[in-house]
Structure 1
Amino acid sequence: MKATKRQFISKMVTDLKPSGIRRFFDLAAGMEGVISLGVGEPDFVTPWNIREAAINSLERGFTAYTPNAGLLELREEISYYMNSQFDVNYSPTDEIIVTVGASSAIDLAMRTILDPGDEVIVVEPCFVSYVPMVELAGGVAVQVQALKENDFKILPNQLEQVISSKTKAIMLCSPNNPTGTMLNKQELEAIAKIAIQHDLLIIADEIYAELSYDEDYTSMAAIEGMRERTILVNGFSKGFAMTGWRLGFVCAPIEISSAMLKVHQYALMCASTMSQYAAIEALKNGRPEVEEMVKSYRRRRNYIVQSFNEIGLECHIPGGAFYAFPSIKSTGLTSQQFAEQLLMKENVAVVPGDVFGESGEGHIRCSYASSLEELQEAVNRIKRFIDSL
């Protein structure tokens, strides 16, 4: 009798859905003349002084492992940066861990805090990896929809309705990917009140903190009573145009950070040494370039939001990041239909909103991290596509 073939892939991974963003990148990759508004990274090259610092570290032979938590000099610079920019204070010796990108920091946080069956409230629309990372860590993702009529801001009573005895944390991203929505201090305080009342952690993805346009950024960890219950994730990819360097960091009170370090040292050892030396230079001398990039993004945001509204795609004004999230409901198409037909007919790549959660249906994510000339041409093509429907 023939033996039954053994299943080598875990059921968790077998059931895991592929990234909805990646599918559209793959479609666009084989086409000529495509303008991509899909990619979630700056169109700026990493500034030369930062690249030069990495080159210099190689020339000096700094190619060995760093401490598991990262170079102490880098952690000291991160500590100073977080204090001076966002008014939060973390010890460089035992409350900061340098990670392989911000995504690694979120994964590290989930694996550190979750026991099987623990629940994490995930506010959607959200970055595509949040729910899978909760599930891969053995947790249960409880998704709550931030609605368009509230400018995609979650309301405190929505959180209250889904908190249970199994809830351990709330996952927040502000400014948000994909909507660009940024929570102000008063809105963060309302969420903090709930976290304190129910004894919950907040995992705060603040990777877009540098990219805020209309008001000063407030970190969740700066809210009264929240430093001790916030796992703060940040990094260099977005604000410093260092996506390919794969460098992030996580700040947390010592009892949490020390536990995270145990997972980190077994899973990753340490982040890239040359990237860490580049990041030191970024924090020391990169502010002027960051400010220029922010000015450019603000101009592009203003242009694309106004343009979308003029051609009939209702779009709220995003407070940060580099994404617009216009509604395409007026076309009668689903998000997937709109994105596929726009790509095939007009060679413009956008991301369908439903890949970011059910509340994203009826919208598309458009990155304005492209030149103004490309944005203008993309808008012309999108208008032509809408007129043809």
Structure 2
Amino acid sequence: MPVSATLAVNEAIRAKRESGKYVLPLGFGEAGLPVHRSLTDRLSRYAGRNGYGSVAGVPQLREAAAGYWSRRDLRTEPSQVIAGPGSKPLLYAALMAVGGDVVLPQPSWVSYGAQVEMLGATPLYVPTIPGDGGVPDPQRLKDYLDHARTIGRDVRAMVMTLPDNPTGTLAAPEIIHRACDIAREYDLVIIADEIYRDLVFDAGRAYVSPADIAPERTIITTGLSKSLALGGWRIGVARVPDSALGDELRERMLTIASEIWSSPSAPVQHAAAYAYTEPAELRDHIADSRRLHATVARAVAGHFGAAGAEVAVPDGGFYLYPDLAPYRSHLEAKWSVKTGADLSELLLDRYAVGVLPGSAFGDGIKELKLRVATSQLYGQTDAQREAALRSAYPLMLPWIAKALDRLDEVLKDLTR
């Protein structure tokens, strides 16, 4: 199994930059923003905490995370919270605790399928509805499940991502409801990856969690790497159901955690506990981040759309998923591009544009879809990133304007 595609493209982009080339870094989904001072202060204050602590996490963090969900109308007790070194290992622990094959949206984040396969199981990819990414299409889901069980597959879980990576879209509430109803009918555990929940662009848009609909069978995973740009701090939390099934899954996940990571970093847990209390300065910081992500992601989507690509307007996070299928014949005749991997390699090698092919996210190899991440356009220094975060007109900042102009040049040369 190769290194994660998102991490691999980040290394390729770094190598291009070190060679002196101007690079458009559109491959790696890091939040690309400076850490808020209140969090670095908290981390420093607790730097002397060096004990392992509870496997589930320090009480302060579990209480704060319970409050975070309770404020979102998901009543949560601290006993339902498990902390881990990032949401990715928590996801892996949840998949291991449930066992069996797993329904995944197609397309979906690269690590879902890889983790399922690492556990010796098989992902069952079910296509999503265009514009409603992150949730398997309910119209197809039952047929896929019936066929899988007919041929003897042991399907026990389904993953949903709200909002979605790679498409940047947020599924409509009725689609989430129908998918949850099917999960209940087929006795599937739902694992809801909600790490981008606080980055939904329209603050007035209703957010429906699978835990609102099927609370007895939904595990939620989230973290601070996206909303507060703390990817390198490696801290995440999971919420298990308040049910007999939830109690069983909690015990299994804690057993797994005890044998893999023992406990997350104690100083980071205390800083995360402060973050999950959602003080005013961090709420404002996230609001500024959300506005910046929305402005830049929608602008990049507009440039792809103007170039003739098919692309949904993103609803949250910092991703979009353009499809260059309208140029299939042209790209093959001019550039010998036959697959999404061919297209992404051409963009990196000829134009120094780092993106990922849709095939990395479960789509067919011949699809000419690309996962584009926009959050690395905010600047190469903390000063630039801070200026982007505070600017009322970030698209007018010279380094962001330069990146968008370069994207136009590349798309025109690629498609003309």
Aligned twin of 2:60: 73
Aligned twin of 2:106: 124
Q: Does 1:99 align with 2:84?
A: yes
Deviates more, 1:192-201 or 1:144-153: 144-153
Aligned twin of 1:113: 98
Aligned twin of 2:30: 41
AA in 2 matched with 1:302: R
- Alpha-carbon displacement from aligned partner over 1:256-312 (angstroms, at most 9, x marks no partner): 212211111122110011111111221232212111111111222222222221122
Q: Does 1:135 align with 2:92?
A: no
In 2, are the aligned partners of 1:345 and 1:385 still within 8 Å (CA)? Answer: no
Distance 2:40 2:132 in 1: 41
| Aligned mate of 2:404, from 370, 379, 382 | 379
Aligned twin of 2:391: none
In 2, are the aligned partners of 1:207 and 1:238 still within 8 Å (CA)? Answer: yes
| Aligned mate of 1:358, from 363, 366, 375 | 363
Q: Does 1:57 align with 2:82?
A: no
Aligned twin of 2:206: 216
* CA gap 1:378/1:331 in 2 versus in 1, 3 angstroms: farther
- Alpha-carbon displacement from aligned partner over 1:61-98 (angstroms, at most 9, x marks no partner): 212112111010111000001110x3112210x21100
Give the SS at the match of 1:110.
helix
Figure out how many residues of one structure are paired with residues of the other and give that number.
365
- Alpha-carbon displacement from aligned partner over 1:188-227 (angstroms, at most 9, x marks no partner): 111111011111111111111111113232211012xx11
Aligned twin of 1:388: 413
Aligned twin of 2:292: 296
In 2, are the aligned partners of 1:348 and 1:378 still within 8 Å (CA)? Answer: no
Report how far residue 147 of structure 1 moved.
4.9
Give the SS at the match of 1:143.
strand
Distance 1:153 1:101 in 2: 22
Q: Does 1:261 align with 2:248?
A: no
Q: Which runs of 5+ in 2 are unaligned?
A: 242-246, 329-336, 379-394
Aligned twin of 1:21: 6
Q: Does 1:181 align with 2:130?
A: no
Give the SS at the match of 1:210.
helix
Percent identity, aligned pairs only? 27
Q: Does 1:337 align with 2:342?
A: yes
AA in 1 matched with 2:177: E
* CA gap 1:151/1:231 in 2 versus in 1, 3 angstroms: closer
Aligned twin of 2:334: none
Aligned twin of 1:146: 128
Distance 2:67 2:134 in 1: 32
| TM-score, normalised relative to structure 1 | 0.88
| Aligned mate of 2:73, from 87, 95, 99 | 87
Q: Which runs of 5+ in 1 are unaligned?
A: 1-15
Aligned twin of 1:191: 179
Deviates more, 1:330-339 or 1:308-317: 330-339
Give the SS at the match of 2:46.
helix
- Alpha-carbon displacement from aligned partner over 1:317-363 (angstroms, at most 9, x marks no partner): 12111101111223334322222222233322122222111258311
- Alpha-carbon displacement from aligned partner over 1:221-262 (angstroms, at most 9, x marks no partner): 012xx1110111111111121110000111112232122111
CA RMSD of aligned residues (A): 1.9
Give the SS at the match of 1:129.
helix
In 2, are the aligned partners of 1:178 and 1:325 still within 8 Å (CA)? Answer: yes
Give the SS at the match of 2:110.
coil
Aligned twin of 1:236: 224
* CA gap 1:376/1:351 in 2 versus in 1, 3 angstroms: farther
Aligned twin of 1:9: none
